[in-house]
Structure 1
Amino acid sequence: MGIFSGLFKSRDKPENRTAGSAYAFYMGGTTAGKTVTERSAMQMTAVYSCVRILAEAVAGLPLHLYKYTDGGGKEKALDHPLYRLLHDEPNPEMSSFVFRETLMTHLLLWGNAYAQVIRNGKGEVIALYPLMPNKMSVDRDENGRLYYTYYRGSDEAIKNKDFAVTLQPSDVLHIPGLGFDGLVGYSPIAMAKNAIGMAIACEEYGAKFFANGAAPGGVLEHPGTIKDPQRVRESWQSTFGGSGNANKIAVLEEGMKYTPIGISPEQAQFLETRKFQINEIARIFRVPPHMVGDLEKSSFSNIEQQSLEFVKYTLDPWVVRWEQSIQRALLSQGEKAEYFVKFNLEGLLRGDYQSRMNGYAIGRQNGWMSANDIRELENLDRIPAEEGGDLYLINGNMLPLKNAGAFANTPTDDGKEENPDEEVLEVEEPSTDGDGSGGEDSVSQRYHRRGKLV
């Protein structure tokens, strides 16, 4: 035990960057020459779009607290105080949607999401408040136990000990992103800062290109000597500079000649570079390009499949990360055996109307869905149980293989076994009318196999 205790105490401090690598901000510098931080990256339209798509998707999913039932099923734990916090209102200042959207935005930008857990005297959770990840520090004490330090100062770059607040793990809901130590996640923006910096540089180049008259720079040549070149330059810029002055006709005097020295954006593949960087950022967040406005690779036949892949391979891992972090931090040891948290992804996995109806019909005919099961998925009112809303029906012409031919040799009333191949001709006695003559149906004959009319 002493060896394991020493190993636990000697664990490294949690880090949000790879040791010895360039994947840290260092004041946000990039090889493209543009400063990239979590806040400046959001000014890039592709980053803003990806973060908004994922944050709103997680925030918009129904989130419920369930309780295991005796029959092996589950039911919503409506009487548990945590249900209302997660589903409706985590604190008096924000709704569940805004709370989850804020934390998911932190998770996508900083790689970590934190929320302060407020408990009452019984240890029950009564409120959850978001905390800024850039003001949070995770460390270990001398016994190897984790603790959180939050700095309340307004300046996020300065962590003053006078504003430090120490929080225990039970006081923090921590949702870490991808990381090497399993405790603190890495910032996706820091990891991809060069790609984002290049996208910002391309965007800035395009803006300056139009600001300078939508034409490359050039040289004004004069056959003689110009006494005041600064005045000529400013006069030219004020007259022909800016997108509002594009395509104006220039009148050159005194033998002056304009010679462009730049190359066009098409020759420099400017548009292709910008487009590639947008796809590069979408790749970082694993968002399909069509969801950020790039429909080049999308068509009517594959757009639905791409949306389903977004749910399964992009959204589902984030959802599982949320569910397990909530259960670990907000449920007691005794409650973890009785309760669990679940996001409902069914709404995003639903197909078109015709596909849903065909699926419901198969489930209804094969007995694993009732009318009320289907109506709940379609957000319709339940049919009362006495009217058959909870009945599970099966197709009557299906039976287990072992029971096939079970009635072939069933004994009859006279003790003889029926022979399914025996042909019987039954003739009823003629019935007489008042005059003794047979009626129209006085004699009827029925030719059948035993037990079955032919």
Structure 2
Amino acid sequence: MGTFFNRTETREYTEEEAEVLISMLPGFSGTGTSFTSAKAIENSDVFTIVNLLASDVASLDIDMVKNDVATPDSLTNLLNVAPNGLYSGGTLKFIITANALLNGESFCEIIRNPKGKVIALYHLSNSQVAIKQDATTNFRLVYDVNDLKGNIRRLQTTDILHFKFFTIDGIRGVSPLNSLKDDLSMQKDSKRFLANFFKNDTQTGGILKMKAGKLSKEARDKIRDEWQKSNAGVDKAHKVLVIDETFEYEPIEIDTEILKLINASTFSTETIGKVYRIPRHKLGLETSNMSLAQANLDYLTSTLNSYLKVITNELNFKLTANTGSVFKFDTAPFKTTDVETHNKIVIEKFDKGLISLDEARKSLGDKPRGDENGRKHFISLNYTTLDQLEEYQMAKAKSKGGGSDGQD
């Protein structure tokens, strides 16, 4: 796949690409605005939230469902196991989700063989892709992809997956970080204030007075720098301070309540979590009074499901049109509490005919039968529909009446 990577060639990296390479999460690139995703994830709250959501999405398998039955398919193998020769399906889902959460959108190129079958999926960095409207095709969207060698390839919408968790025009995704600029700045300044406070051994500053003489600005700056060099820092904490009678040092005191307020403040964390719709208990801000099953279900329905739908909607739009099949995430792990409860629920569903034998075996960790009996739904003879029950009662009543007349 030399179109994407050339391992034998070296090149100079741009400032944006260099920032991407040193970021903490794989595959991120700048958005071209006043912030970059690589910088944003230096904030621990943003990193935690993005890592949480992207990891949860990556941990779930995507099924191909037709007539409410999941069937193995080469496309699901690409999405779950091996989308290409570079990384796994879980990594692809992680990169797609993380980029869309940070940059507002993410891209994935669809590679097909000469017969039109999808054989690979490759993530594209946001900085590689330019979205345009082609006047020669009634202003349809096209994607110009820079292959990092200066070559531009034009892709049609059918050849690229474009994931957007938030959009106001249906064309470009909008990053949630746009609404967090002030909050991230405030949190950064607060942490910097605390870091400097403890770096200076909790000494917030002071006034060094010279009793006699008048100092020039250069002299004052030099004395200040030398004083800071000699006395500031944890290594010099609690050491004896020696000055002559021409100087007088007066420390500046700070209200410790301000430090407590800054250190205990969770406002920025709550705001970041609110933007990404993360429940407070997921961020450790409060203890949930719900059971584990209720907490997981609440997180799935109120938060995770909206992100999963965006991904499957794009997959269905580009990959399953007119096939009668749809992609769905298997969210069973978030509906399970413990092994014993899980097994009990599966068995109850099977006994009531809600799931097939193969579905039950798969949920219990056993290998499905894979035959006709495995796909069947079994149900007790004691169950029947209401109309059949009425017919049965009427037939029984007529049978009793006929027997009585015969005896007369």
- TM-score (norm: length of structure 1): 0.70
State the match for 2:235 in structure 1: 244
State the match for 1:346 in structure 2: 332
Report percent identity of matched pairs: 24
Question: Matched residue pairs, number?
Answer: 368
**1:163-312 → structure 2 map (5 Å cutoff):** 163-225=151-213, 229=220, 232-248=223-239, 250-254=241-245, 256-264=247-255, 266-267=257-258, 269-273=261-265, 275-292=266-283, 294=284, 296-299=285-288, 301=290, 304-312=293-301
CA distance in 1, matches of 2:345, 2:269: 38
Q: CA shift at 1:367, angstroms?
A: 4.3
The answer to whether the aligner puts 1:328 opposite 2:320 as a matched pair is: no
- Name the larger-Rg structure: 1
State the match for 2:122 in structure 1: 129
Q: Secondary structure at the match of 1:266?
A: helix
Q: Secondary structure at the match of 1:118?
A: strand
**1:10-29 → structure 2 map (5 Å cutoff):** 28=34
State the match for 2:98 in structure 1: 105
State the match for 1:42 in structure 2: 41
**1:20-169 → structure 2 map (5 Å cutoff):** 28=34, 36-66=35-65, 68=66, 72-78=67-73, 81-142=74-135, 143-153=138-148, 162-169=150-157
2:142 aligned partner, one-letter code:
Y
Q: Secondary structure at the match of 1:337?
A: coil
Gaps of 5+ in 1: 1-24, 29-35, 155-161, 419-454
Deviations along 1:154-187, whole A, 9 cap, x unmatched?
8xxxxxxx54332221221111221111121112
CA contact (8 A) 2:350 2:377 kept: no
CA distance in 2, matches of 1:132, 1:305: 37
CA distance in 2, matches of 1:64, 1:172: 20
Gaps of 5+ in 2: 1-30
CA distance in 1, matches of 2:324, 2:166: 29
Change (3 A) 1:415 1:180: closer
Change (3 A) 1:150 1:397: closer
Deviations along 1:166-217, whole A, 9 cap, x unmatched?
2221221111221111121112223322222222222222222222332211
1:223 aligned partner, one-letter code:
K
1:271 aligned partner, one-letter code:
N
Which ranges of 4 or more aligned residues in structure 1 deviate by more than 6 Å? 383-391
Q: Secondary structure at the match of 1:58?
A: helix
Q: Secondary structure at the match of 1:267?
A: helix
2:106 aligned partner, one-letter code:
A
CA distance in 2, matches of 1:125, 1:386: 29
Q: CA shift at 1:130, angstroms?
A: 0.8
Deviations along 1:399-437, whole A, 9 cap, x unmatched?
95635697567549x94379xxxxxxxxxxxxxxxxxxx
Equivalent of 1:375, from 336, 361, 379? 361
CA distance in 2, matches of 1:131, 1:26: 15
Q: CA shift at 1:62, angstroms?
A: 0.8
Change (3 A) 1:328 1:259: same
CA distance in 2, matches of 1:62, 1:259: 65
CA contact (8 A) 1:148 1:169 kept: yes
**1:360-439 → structure 2 map (5 Å cutoff):** 360=346, 362-364=348-350, 366-369=352-355, 373-381=359-367, 392-394=378-380, 396=382, 400=386, 402=390, 407=396, 410-411=399-400, 415-416=403-404
CA distance in 1, matches of 2:403, 2:192: 98
CA distance in 1, matches of 2:143, 2:369: 52
Q: Secondary structure at the match of 2:110?
A: strand
Tell which deviates more after alignment, 36-45 or 297-306.
297-306
Q: CA shift at 1:242, angstroms?
A: 1.8
CA distance in 2, matches of 1:337, 1:397: 35
Q: CA shift at 1:373, angstroms?
A: 4.2
Q: CA shift at 1:329, angstroms?
A: 1.7
Q: CA shift at 1:303, angstroms?
A: 5.7
Deviations along 1:61-94, whole A, 9 cap, x unmatched?
011223x3xxx4424143xx32321221111111
CA contact (8 A) 1:366 1:395 kept: no
Change (3 A) 1:53 1:373: same
Tell which deviates more after alignment, 178-187 or 222-231.
222-231
Tell which deviates more after alignment, 208-217 or 220-229.
220-229
CA contact (8 A) 1:37 1:189 kept: no
CA distance in 2, matches of 1:183, 1:399: 50
1:270 aligned partner, one-letter code:
I
CA contact (8 A) 1:195 1:280 kept: yes
State the match for 2:345 in structure 1: 359
CA contact (8 A) 1:370 1:393 kept: no
1:182 aligned partner, one-letter code:
G
Select the structure that is richer in helix. Answer: 2
CA contact (8 A) 1:173 1:330 kept: no
CA distance in 1, matches of 2:80, 2:124: 20
2:152 aligned partner, one-letter code:
A
CA contact (8 A) 1:214 1:246 kept: no
Change (3 A) 1:255 1:358: farther
CA distance in 2, matches of 1:128, 1:397: 48
